[in-house]
């Protein structure tokens, strides 16, 4: 199963991308829809919201007056954090139930508006960010949602800045053009990167081809959503840290920042190397058979070293799993 975290700021176009990914065959778990469902009348979440914020957030029909609640929390960071503590655990529990019922070979897309704000990026094989300039998003909210400019700006300010979302992104889709262009970019990402990534995971194999380490010298953009991403070794190390036992040490190594990276994993005392290797594979880095004497671009120490490579066809990431006490990646390797 390939797990994708989809996010983007308000009015960036995330919902259009989610719809297209669902049409292409992904299982889409929409956190917005779940966030509504977990506070429907009669649910424990509804009761807790009313106890916390009072009956002023109720409409005449007895359900939550969502615009009133939104105005309350978007202008008050403390109230917003309180509401998030009520809603987010319930949303995650319901999302987990839906994901557990998906096929083993599924592409599961979790549509999470506050993925970055809630520090969830590391649990996904791929984080897809839909991005658009703030002024473009403000204009969309005014034109399409009838908001005034102050309200639109307040909604943007209540979310993570664009730079923080891009720092978490494994792929970026820029939506500053037409809806048709966004759909076409989503389809290309699916064909070139997402579907091959999912197939590689199902078969437990690394990507068969390596991409170039840099953009075309003529200035062409990096393919497959890589333009706008950075900090590759940092992001890959975070995914591995989230997937591995607490005692394992994960050390980012050298790389190109966008396409190529090396990461070193050292199991903790008493940990089983095979179990650690299996966890690395499940995180999106299947084991690679590297012939002895070949130039694998990594440092080996002893016969217990296990080499893994990314199943993502857009990346060239090598993960070296070493036993305790083995060597480290030398500078400049």
Residue ranges of the binding site for ATP: 11-16
Where would I find the H helices in 101-176? Answer: 134-145, 149-157, 162-168
Strands 249-255 and 306-309: unpaired
SS3 content of the chain, % helix, strand, coil (to 5): 45, 15, 40
Largest CA distance in the chain: 75
136: closest CA among 184, 179, 80, 186? 179
Binding-site residues sit at 11-16
Q: Phi and psi of 34, rounded to 5°?
A: -65, -35
Other beta carbons within 10 angstroms of residue 107's beta carbon come to: 25
Give the sheet arrangement for strand 171-174, strand by strand: 27-30, 107-111, 2-8, 126-131, 171-174
């Amino acid at each position: 199963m390939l797990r994708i975290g989809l996010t983007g700021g308000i009015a960036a176009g995330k919902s259009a991308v989610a719809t297209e990914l669902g049409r292409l065959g992904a299982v889409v778990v929409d956190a917005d829809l779940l966030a509504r469902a977990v506070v429907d009348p009669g649910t424990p979440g509804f009761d807790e919201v009313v106890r916390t914020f009072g009956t002023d957030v109720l409409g005449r029909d007895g359900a939550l007056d969502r615009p009133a609640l939104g105005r309350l929390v978007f202008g008050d960071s403390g109230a917003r954090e309180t509401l998030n503590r009520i809603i987010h655990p319930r949303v995650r529990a319901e999302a987990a139930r839906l994901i557990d019922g998906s096929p083993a070979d599924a592409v599961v897309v979790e549509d999470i508006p506050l993925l970055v704000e809630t520090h969830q990026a590391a649990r996904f094989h791929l984080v897809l960010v839909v991005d658009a300039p703030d002024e473009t998003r403000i204009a969309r909210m005014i034109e399409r949602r009838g908001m005034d400019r102050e309200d639109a700006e307040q909604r943007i300010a209540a979310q993570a800045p664009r730079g923080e979302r891009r720092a978490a992104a494994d792929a970026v889709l820029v939506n500053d053009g037409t809806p048709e262009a966004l759909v076409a970019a989503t389809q290309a990402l699916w064909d070139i990167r997402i579907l091959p990534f999912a197939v590689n995971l199902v078969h437990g194999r690394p990507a068969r081809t390596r991409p170039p380490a840099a953009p075309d010298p003529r200035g062409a953009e990096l393919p497959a959503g890589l333009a706008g991403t950075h900090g590759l070794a940092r992001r890959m190390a975070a995914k591995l840290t989230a997937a591995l036992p607490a005692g394992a040490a994960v050390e980012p190594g050298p790389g190109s920042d966008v396409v190529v990276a090396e990461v070193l994993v050292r199991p903790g005392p008493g940990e089983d190397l095979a179990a650690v290797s299996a966890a690395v594979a499940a995180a999106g880095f299947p084991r690679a058979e590297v012939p002895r004497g070949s130039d694998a671009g990594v440092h080996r120490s002893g016969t217990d070293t296990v080499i893994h490579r990314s199943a993502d066809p857009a990346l060239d990431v090598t993960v070296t799993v070493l036993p305790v006490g083995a060597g480290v990646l030398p500078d400049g390797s």
